[in-house]
């Protein structure tokens, strides 16, 4: 890697290489793919970038994410070259100011970078949107998500017990990536909702807390199963910046049959998933947050429906929803994937 990195390291033994990366704090605890010069060049060639080309700059610390750094970490994560455009777009997204990459890399909240891919590229490179979409078994999901975690560690310096102050963390800090399933949604896909063309492919990144799976108890009327979802959303906590609501294909079929729009779902969940100022005061006990008219006013988890992202994803069987809260004042960002 002499032409790609300032420090040249040679290892002829795979196990020695693993020990070196772990000893130097350059990994996430799992074995990594050694970033050989040939592998890194293959990543760069796929996207037509030079090693020194700046993909994005993070404003708080002034860190430049060069194509070289991103490619090296993508290799270490196990990505194929055809995954590189997704990783590049995700890095550009997390570097935008509203995402507040520095804060969510240092906070005790312990968030991970969730990458939701929308568009044709998901099928072309094998990003799973079906059974076990948020779990194991699919290289594209696992390695694209992992690349974002390694970039946070190696290119930004967010190391556990150092910059990373996560109280708990969660498994999504290893990897958190899935695709929207166009085949189950009865409305415009996420990429169109975010202002892009249907023919485009996009990434949307969230500073994501751990997911909460909700069993809707085999209810088939949207009013009934979304009431369960809305009640569950309260556990995400107060004053969230936004949250993701993932609905399984089974629930999507019920939505389609009932003729509910995406906006109607958002309106219902926002209105139902609330507590009064009085209830919140009782919860906090030692401090009074709400007075006067606010005592009986119902407070939602997020301030508007614009802060609820609804996606269809998952296996065909199962009346399940998934809630994924986003940390603090961080705002999700969507970027077009250049293919």
Helices vs. strands in the chain: H and E counts, helices first: 12, 11
**Contact between 166 and 104 (Cβ < 8 Å):** no
Going by pLDDT thresholds of 50, 70 and 90, the confidence category of residue 292 is: confident
In a domain? residue 3? no
Mean pLDDT of the chain: 92
**Per-residue pLDDT tens for 1-51?**
333 444 456 677 899 999 999 999 999 999 999 999 999 999 999 999 999
**Per-residue pLDDT tens for 299-326?**
778 889 999 999 999 999 999 999 999 9
Torsion angle defined by CA atoms of residues 120, 210, 78 and 191, in that order, rounded to the nearest 10 degrees: 20
In a domain? residue 186? yes
**Per-residue pLDDT tens for 192-245?**
999 999 999 999 999 999 999 999 988 999 999 999 999 999 888 776 789 999
When divided into structural domains, the chain yields a total of 1
In a domain? residue 9? no
In a domain? residue 5? no
Going by pLDDT thresholds of 50, 70 and 90, the confidence category of residue 277 is: low
In a domain? residue 296? yes
In a domain? residue 103? yes
In a domain? residue 89? yes
Provide the pLDDT for residue 1. 37
Give the bridge partners for 213, in sequence order. 322
**Per-residue pLDDT tens for 93-112?**
999 999 999 998 998 989 99
Residues in the chain: 339
In a domain? residue 136? yes
CB-based burial of residue 35 (10 Å sphere; 0-12 exposed, 13-18 middle, 19+ buried)? buried
Domain that holds residue 46: 14-336
């Amino acid at each position: 890697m002499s032409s790609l990195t300032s420090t040249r390291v040679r290892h002829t033994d795979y196990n020695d290489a693993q020990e070196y990366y772990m000893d130097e704090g350059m990994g996430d605890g799992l074995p990594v793919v050694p970033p050989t010069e040939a592998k890194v060049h293959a990543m760069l060639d796929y996207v037509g970038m030079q090693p020194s080309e700046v993909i994005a700059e993070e404003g708080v610390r002034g860190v430049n994410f060069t194509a070289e750094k991103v490619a090296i970490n993508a290799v270490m994560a196990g990505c194929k070259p055809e995954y590189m455009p997704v990783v590049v777009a995700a890095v550009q997204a997390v570097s935008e100011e509203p995402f507040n990459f520095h804060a969510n890399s240092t906070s005790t909240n312990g968030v991970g970078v969730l990458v939701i891919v929308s568009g044709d590229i998901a099928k072309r490179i094998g990003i799973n949107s079906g059974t076990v979409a948020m779990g194991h078994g699919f290289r594209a999901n696992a390695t694209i998500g992992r690349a974002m975690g390694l970039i946070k560690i190696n290119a930004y310096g967010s190391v556990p017990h150092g910059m990373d102050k996560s109280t708990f963390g969660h498994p999504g800090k290893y990897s958190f990536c899935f695709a929207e399933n166009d085949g189950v949604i009865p409305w415009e896909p996420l990429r169109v909702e975010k202002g892009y063309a249907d023919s485009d492919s996009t990434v949307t990144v969230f500073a994501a807390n751990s997911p909460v799976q909700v069993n809707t108890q085999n209810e088939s009327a949207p009013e009934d199963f979304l009431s369960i979802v809305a009640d569950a959303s309260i556990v995400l906590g107060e004053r969230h910046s936004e949250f993701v609501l993932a609905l399984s294909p089974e629930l999507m079929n019920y939505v389609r049959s009932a003729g509910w729009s995406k906006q109607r779902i958002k309106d219902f969940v926002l209105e139902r998933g609330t507590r009064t100022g009085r209830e919140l005061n009782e919860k906090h006990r030692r401090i009074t947050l709400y007075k006067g008219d606010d005592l009986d006013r119902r407070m939602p988890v997020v301030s508007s429906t614009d802060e609820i992202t609804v996606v269809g994803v998952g296996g065909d069987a199962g009346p399940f929803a998934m809630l994924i809260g986003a940390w603090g004042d961080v705002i999700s960002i969507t970027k077009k994937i250049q293919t």
